[in-house]
Structure 1
Amino acid sequence: MSVPPSFPPLSAIVTTLRAAGCVFAEDEAQLLRTAADTPDDLTAMVRRRVAGLPLEHVLGWAEFNGLRIAVDAGVFVPRRRTEFLVERALALAPAGAVVVDLCCGSGALGAALAAELAGVELYACDIDPAAVACARRNLAGAGGRVHLGDLFAPLPAGLRGRVDVLLANVPYVPTLEVELLPSEARLHEARVALDGGADGLDVLRRVTAQAADWLAPGGRLLFETSELQVPAAVAAVTRGGLTARVDECEERYATVVSGTRTA
């Protein structure tokens, strides 16, 4: 896409972004200049980025697993490391799978699975109304049904015992460590999407306590966690009556725990 000559030179935008501490100033400058419709739009977008808003919130979208995912202000930005969770889910999901994206945020995980799997029956839910509104846009093309509410509570009762893949990208940052997060996350993403309680696993334990009731025989629960949290996370999966497995991706610094309903 060509940029009108009235736009400021790319080098000037790069200098401004770099002075604000943007590590990937060159890439960001190109994205911002391409996304802007007018010089005034560009000026406003650069100003918002310099003020500390996540690039994805400024652009209105994030790239995730080859897709452009709409991300509204305040909504959790899907992390590239979480693509490993998608990879693991795709390796385990049958064709025509019943998929639930729990704590869905923007709906990025469900959208990624639906883009790769034929005939998916897709559901998603989140407790944050802004996230639900965003997910509804992202999952509309896949026929996804998005519900507002706390964990399993808003899901249709008819899903019990039918779910093949239960994605649960729950918040797992310990409460006292939320303040240590980069300001882009700490100040501009909903705290409910970040704070996992005292040890970071409060929400996860609530999920694992109920997951077996919703999974089909052979169905899998998959979630991301930190390396340090793996023993406690595995214990939670086991207490929930599921068989646990841990997979790691050194390249993405990602750890995925899965739990299988074997009976």
Structure 2
Amino acid sequence: MPPLTPPASSASSPAQPPSSRDALVLALRAAGCVFAEEEAELILDAASTADEAAAMARRRAAGLPLEHVVGWAEFHGLRVGVEPGVFVPRRRTEFLVDQALAAVPHASVVVDLCCGSGAVGAALAASLGPVELHACDIDPVAVACARRNLAEHGGHAYAGDLFAPLPDRLRGRVDILAANVPYVPTDEVPLLPSEAREHEPLTALDGGGDGLDVLRRVAAEAPLWLAPGGRLLVETSERQSPAAVEAFARSGLTVRVARDEELSAHVILGAAFR
């Protein structure tokens, strides 16, 4: 994963002693961190003391994702809080957010399904303005993290399996249903980078035999929740797109596929018209 972008305020921060920075860079480089210099700057910016910076560098060198080390991830122009055990939002998922905003620019009810840290919901709310925002995830650790990230947007986060914890009053009212479902085929999970395999929840990665088990469940139930003209958006891979399109069509949604080659992002959009 590319490194976090150094915050704009770091340029005006007091200069760190070269020896401290150099020591961190050397430690990170020795651990195989490709962007050691940039990561050292982020750690120094996040740490209150030299000892804390050294401890953070040790955790990073041991394989903890940088975002878990510094406590935040950059996503769609926001700093989204993350913590160990919570899925780190990927930059390619910003494309899903952009597609949702373009498809339903005046959305008033937003649901972030399989929300993880709540990054997608927070990004949508930040761009749309005041919305009724709900998020849910099966992992209670992720839900606690999402609640903190959604608080400033007045959002609500629930723990439970897919739609089950959502209030019934949302049925037929959701304008944007963003579902960043797990879509890695079970047999391919061991091939993921160690940062993901060892430090992110399996429920956020493993999508079943062909990677589309959760996507099919979401597509099947989504029409019950979408408002007329509402959109379901799910990220998947290019290889899985045909089967994902079939699942959307089977549920009665009008389907479109959006791609961003630079980000290697593929988003399936399903529209509910009734």
Question: 1:8: Cα distance to partner?
Answer: 3.8
CA apart distance, 1:54: 0.1
1:245 maps to what in 2?
256
The residue that corresponds to 2:54 in the other structure is: 43
Kept in 1, the 8 Å contact 2:107–2:175? The answer is no
Q: Deviations over 1:19-40 (max 9, x none)?
A: 1111111110100011111111
Amino acid at match of 2:235: E
1:113-137 CA-to-partner distances (Å, cap 9, x unmatched) read: 1111122110000000000000000
Q: What's the offset of the Cα at 1:262?
A: 1.5
Deviation >4 Å, runs of 4+: none
Aligned position for 1:183: 194
Tell me the equivalent position of 1:115: 126
Distance 1:104 1:50 in 2: 28
Residue 31 of structure 1: SS of its match in structure 2?
helix
1:98 equivalent to 2:96? Answer: no
Q: Size of the alignment, in residue pairs?
A: 262
What is the Cα deviation at residue 96 of structure 1? 4.8
Structure 1 contact 99–120 (Cα < 8 Å) conserved: yes
Distance 1:143 1:175 in 2: 36
Q: Which residue of 2 aligns with 1:229?
A: 240
Aligned with residue 34 of structure 2, among 1, 23, 37:
23
Equivalent residue in structure 2 for 1:9, among 14, 20, 25 = 20
TM-score by length of 2: 0.94
Matches within 5 A, 1:167-178: 167-178=178-189
Find the counterpart in structure 1 of residue 155 from structure 2. 144
CA–CA distance in structure 2, aligned partners of residues 162 and 247 of structure 1: 24
Q: In 2, distance between residues paired with 1:114 and 1:248?
A: 23
Contact 2:20 2:50 in 1 (8 A): no
Provide Cα deviations, 1:80-99, integer angstroms capped at 9, x if missing partner.
01110011011112425200
Amino acid at match of 1:243: T
Task: Note if contact 1:95-1:118 (Cα within 8 Å) is conserved in structure 2.
Answer: no
The 2-side partners of 1:96 and 1:180 are apart by: 38
1:85 aligned partner: 96
Q: CA deviation at 1:3?
A: 4.4
Question: Helix, strand or coil: the match of 1:62?
Answer: strand
Structure 2 equivalent of residue 256 of structure 1 = 267
Task: Normalising by structure 1, report the TM-score.
Answer: 0.97
Separation in structure 1 between the aligned mates of residue 219 and residue 54 of structure 2, nearest angstrom:
47
| Equivalences for residues 125-164 of structure 1 within 5 A | 125-164=136-175
Instruction: Quote the offset at 1:244 in angstroms.
Output: 0.6
Q: 1:54 aligns with which of 49, 65, 73?
A: 65
Give the structure 1 partner of residue 74 of structure 2: 63
Contact 1:48 1:58 (8 Å CA) reproduced: yes
Distance 2:97 2:222 in 1: 19
Q: What is the percent sequence identity of the aligned residues?
A: 68
Taking the aligned partners of 1:118 and 1:20, their CA distance within structure 2 comes to: 42
Picking from 210, 213, 218, the partner of 1:199 is 210
Letter in 1 for 2:217: R
Task: Provide the alpha-carbon RMSD of the alignment.
Answer: 1.1
Contact 1:3 1:33 in 2 (8 A): no
Partner of 1:259, secondary structure, is strand
In structure 1, list runs of 5 or more residues that go unmatched.
none
